[in-house]
Structure 1
């Protein structure tokens, strides 16, 4: 699966595919990730992460959700998203939905896309981390404990079996 039609109800059809197929959105994705997850990290860090996820043949990968020609969300499939747990791979990472399109199912569809994409490529597990609880549990993720995030905070670690 390299593209998927979303079931989200945002008023127009949404498709999900590789950011590499829409390179003109690279800067917008980097801006979104920096604004959502920056917390003291400069924008250049996120621009580098996004730029180096444009090779469709290897991780890391970035995917985008489009309503027509409008960017409405993004998600990544990365080798590692948490420095303290480099033993775990791969990771669903950097899930972001444009504020105007939240609470309509698009976040769930982005998760489903990465889950199916990963399963088709032979992965048997996925991981993610979050600083909050409730959302990912509702979408089938299993909380497996806390882990330190650099430099000094604890985050919730989740696992998803793909078997």
Structure 2
């Protein structure tokens, strides 16, 4: 019997092994992983699918910010299901369970990077490019967004950035004369 539970610390190794099997070890080189570097996932939103004690699916969420205002958002992913369990709807079940958790915890914006537009559109994700939301280093046609409440995306635009990252402050340039010693 498959169960869906919040990820626990003892699931960490099994999750990493599953992600390596599904995406390969080169997954950590993907642009989206830079947004997860040195930031913990949002624990109450991270779920696993288990068959008995075996982790067969995982879905995590990470804090990010959007635009110069630093609008809080979540970065969905990775979503992975063990190859032997694919086609049973477990990915969709993980989406349903975790999106309900996101709503229950008051999160308003979720962004993701994927080539699976058809799958994520079933969960009301749309292309982010028309909203003016981008992700540095990522193709705009791979970025999707979902507002969890009405008008969540109103006035939100700009690049997605890792949680806690700040835009560089503009520096004023002054005319300075430089004295140099003659050679």
Q: TM-score range by the shorter chain?
A: 0.5 to 0.7
The TM-score, its normalising length taken from structure 1, stands at: 0.66
2:4 to 12, 16, 21: 16
Query: What is the DSSP-based 3-state SS (H/G/I as helix, E as strand, rest coil) of the residue aligned with 1:65?
Result: strand
Number of paired residues?
Answer: 138
Higher CA-based Rg: 2
Instruction: Quote the offset at 1:138 in angstroms.
Output: 2.8
Residue deviations 1:95-142, cap 9 Å, x none?
Answer: 001111112111111111121111111112211111343221133211
Query: What is the DSSP-based 3-state SS (H/G/I as helix, E as strand, rest coil) of the residue aligned with 1:64?
Result: strand
Pair 1:40–1:52, CA change in 2 (3 A):
closer
Residue of structure 2 in register with 1:69 after alignment: 53
Residue of structure 2 in register with 1:157 after alignment: 143
Pair 1:148–1:159, CA change in 2 (3 A):
closer
2:18 to 32, 53, 56: 32
Aligned-residue CA RMSD in angstroms? Answer: 3.4
Residue of structure 1 in register with 2:97 after alignment: 113
Matched, 1:90 2:74: yes
Residue of structure 1 in register with 2:180 after alignment: none
Structure 1 gaps, min length 5: 1-11
Q: Contact 2:65–2:72 (CA<8 Å) still a contact in 1?
A: no
Q: Contact 2:110–2:145 (CA<8 Å) still a contact in 1?
A: yes
Q: Contact 1:17–1:63 (CA<8 Å) still a contact in 2?
A: yes
Structure 2 gaps, min length 5: 150-183
Q: Contact 2:7–2:47 (CA<8 Å) still a contact in 1?
A: yes
- Structure with more contact order per residue of length (Cα contacts < 8 Å, sep ≥ 6): 2
Greater per-residue strand proportion: 1
Q: Contact 1:127–1:159 (CA<8 Å) still a contact in 2?
A: yes
